[in-house]
Structure 1
Amino acid sequence: MSVVTKIAPRNLKDDVNVFSHIKYEHFVAGISGGVTSTLILHPLDVIKIRFAVNDGRLQTTPRYSGIWNAFVTIFRQEGIHGLYRGVTPNVWGAGSSWGLYFLFYNAIKTWIQGGNVNAPLGPANHLLAASEAGVVTLFITNPLWVVKTRLCLQYGSTSSSQEQYKGMIDALVKIYRYDGIKGYYKGLVPGIFGVSHGAVQFMVYEELKNAYNKYHNLPIATKLSTVQYLSFAALSKIIAAGTTYPYQVVRARLQNQHYNYKGSLDCINQTWSYEGWRGFYKGLGTNLLRVTPATMITFLTYENVSHFLMRRRENS
């Protein structure tokens, strides 16, 4: 017998009380997943960013023939420290981003469901909830991503002390000193467009879980196996990355302290003029190599930690 769950109607009081659905368990579980995957896979993030900003015009930008060559070259010239440049803001950024994203996403989703976590939403509502959660999270965490990008792009000697950072705090201070608050929000516009990446990913991930549970006549909040979580996470990430990657290239280039663009449109025009459509997909291979296992680790960790914490809440 199939399980059919209808979304309960909300009254006006429920409509304005979305914050009542916020649960810290989702925040803790999201942080756990983001930090775990970042610590394991950060070197690939450094390589991806260096590929993304290399437009062939700036001679000081390192050039690599491939992923393995980049890994070996960075390790030989900069040591293990070079492979983990920017890891501190990346851990802070990934941890807080995933924590906040899962927190806001689940609160909005549960609000739309009327408090019934077993009520199916459909692709449009999943896309809406993920988009809203993504925009809020981006405004809070964008400064950390600017710092991470700039630390990852410290190679050799830079032209001025303004571009040389001793660490995360020093970067935050210098960015504010030389660029003001707006310096923390470089790359924000493509980042907002990039919210579509997370929205597509979450939509596909949720729909895959729902379809699986519906096929097996299970409530949609049912805890799945490790293999199922890993498979759904990988497929959703590949689809999302393939459709939204260009914004990440534009965002990384806008945040690059070694080159100045007048804005997002100028960056897009220059990339197209000098490199064609391929310029918008530089670093995609490295990105997929990194983000696919990262997403698998993040979602698996999140699902297990959140289910564990929610069970504790119910038992208490």
Structure 2
Amino acid sequence: MAAGTGTLAPFPAALPEFPCPPQSRAPGPQGSPAGGVPPAADLVLGAAAGCMACVLTNPLEVVKTRLQLQGELRAPGTYPRPYRGVLRAAGAVCRADGLRGLQKGLAAGLLYQGLMNGVRFYCYSCALAAGWTGWPGGTVVAGAVAGAVGAFVGSPAYLVKTHLQAQTLAAVAVGHQHNHESISGAFESIYRQHGVAGLWRGVTGAVPRVAVGSAAQLATFASAKDWVCEHQWFGEGSWAAVLAGGMVSGVAVAVTMTPFDVVSTRLYNQPVDADGAGKLYRGFWDCFVQISSKEGLLGLYKGIGAVYLRLGPHTVLSLFFWDELRKMVQQQPPPGP
């Protein structure tokens, strides 16, 4: 939304899982973007908005993780499928782990959202304040770079989140089971066994995942929202139009990002040897090639339904929470001399 008003700006430059500040032509006082919120404040607000949205969309993350690990490196039709489709997979999670199972890994997910979104938001806000987004293609490049930096910083939290969300009863377990007792126990165990480097295992899949997803959404979200309004599905500037635009844009984002998402999940969750090296995959491209050769090209699109259903709502929820928090900051009286 435009600062201090109740209408949406023409293009809130939204990255996957969090919104970026609206485009501004010039930085405001003391290096802050036009609108009066400095990058440091946007770091906190973006992290808070992403965490709020995470609470509501984490169940789809659990379902997505299970679907992406199901039938790992096995040909289609040669393995049992305890998870079939988004709704039936959610039911399987509830039967095995109870209703609370849909919020597995929530604490790690909140930590990841806070770290990744905060850093991405801060980096993008700095680029906005510097005027770099005014160059042709600057918005997409800035979003992709900010996303890559955020993914690197938040990688340890995503690693633990994936481990915890994959854990379940042996009868319906998919992928390697790391059997952590808690989020703190997971960090401690990984660090004790493999040091600091072990906490960043799988980051080679996370960086391209977020960069590609960010660029794809930035390139399609505005045009998708405008297309929805032009066809008079919803009123211009309404949140319904943003949600519909996010879901339309989500098609392009899901198609381009899901293969990277599957690879990222596999790299994070794979078992490792005593030296911390993966037992199944040597890196991003090795994982990509093995999945496509052993599971077929459709193996790279496991969990695409959950990925798609998460994109639109999470983006819109993040936009809403971020905008409301930003307005609260802008309404605060300036500090005295």
| Shorter-chain TM-score tier | 0.7 to 0.9
Q: Report the Cα offset of residue 228 of structure 1.
A: 4.7
Query: Greater helix share, 1 or 2?
Result: 1
Q: How many residues align?
A: 284
Describe the shift of the 1:288–1:50 C-alpha distance in structure 2 as closer, same or farther (beyond 3 A). same
**Alignment correspondent of 2:181:** 166
Q: Is the 8 A contact 1:126 1:206 kept in 2?
A: no
Q: Which residue type is aligned with residue 201 of structure 2?
A: K
User: What is the CA-CA distance between 1:56 and the residue it aligns to?
Assistant: 5.1
CA drift at 1:296: 1.4
C-alpha distance in 1 between matches for 2:247 and 2:114: 19
5+ residue gaps, structure 1: 15-20, 114-119, 216-223
Identify which of 282, 289, 305 aligns with 2:325.
305
Q: 1:58-85, CA deviations, whole angstroms, 9 ceiling, x for partnerless residues?
A: 7998631222221112111211232211
Whether 2:77 is the aligned partner of 1:73: answer: no
Report the counterpart of residue 207 of structure 2 in structure 1.
192
User: Judging changes above 3 Å, is the alpha-carbon distance between structure 1 residues 251 and 165 closer, same or farther for their aligned structure 2 residues?
Assistant: same
Identity of aligned residues (%): 26
Taking structure 1 as the reference length, the TM-score comes to 0.77
What is the RMSD computed on CA atoms of the aligned residues? 3.4
Aligned match of 1:85:
104
The more displaced of 187-196 and 271-280 is: 187-196
Greater displacement, 304-313 / 138-147: 304-313
The amino acid across from 1:140 in the alignment is V
Rounded to whole Å, the distance in 2 between the matches of 1:182 and 1:204 is 36
The CA deviation at 1:235 is 4.0
Partner Cα distance (2:153, 2:102) in 1: 26
1:2-57 alpha-carbon deviations (Å, 9 max, x no partner): xxx99679xxxx9xxxxxx9533312321232112111121111010111112355
Shift of 1:165: 0.6
Say whether 1:182 aligns with 2:197: yes
CA shift, 1:261, in A, is: 1.6
- Going from structure 1 to structure 2, the CA distance change for 1:314 and 1:205 (only over 3 Å counts) comes to farther
CA distance in 2, matches of 1:56, 1:44: 20
Whether 2:292 is the aligned partner of 1:272: answer: yes
Partner of 2:154: 141
Q: Where in structure 2 are there 5+ consecutive unaligned residues?
A: 1-22, 32-36, 231-236, 272-278
Tell me what 1:43 maps to. Answer: 59
TM-score by length of 2: 0.73
Equivalent position amino acid for 2:214 in 1: G
For residues 23 and 95 of structure 1, the distance between their equivalents in structure 2, rounded to whole angstroms, comes to 15
What do residues 98-133 of structure 1 show as CA deviations (whole Å, max 9, x unaligned)?
A: 2222221111122125xxxxxx72650001211221
Q: How does 1:148-297 map to 2 (within 5 A)?
A: 148-157=161-170, 163-194=178-209, 195-205=211-221, 225-258=238-271, 260-297=280-317
Moved more, 250-259 or 233-242: 233-242
Whether contact under 8 Å (2:243, 2:312) holds in the other structure is no
Distance 1:200 1:69 in 2: 29
1:131 is aligned to: 144
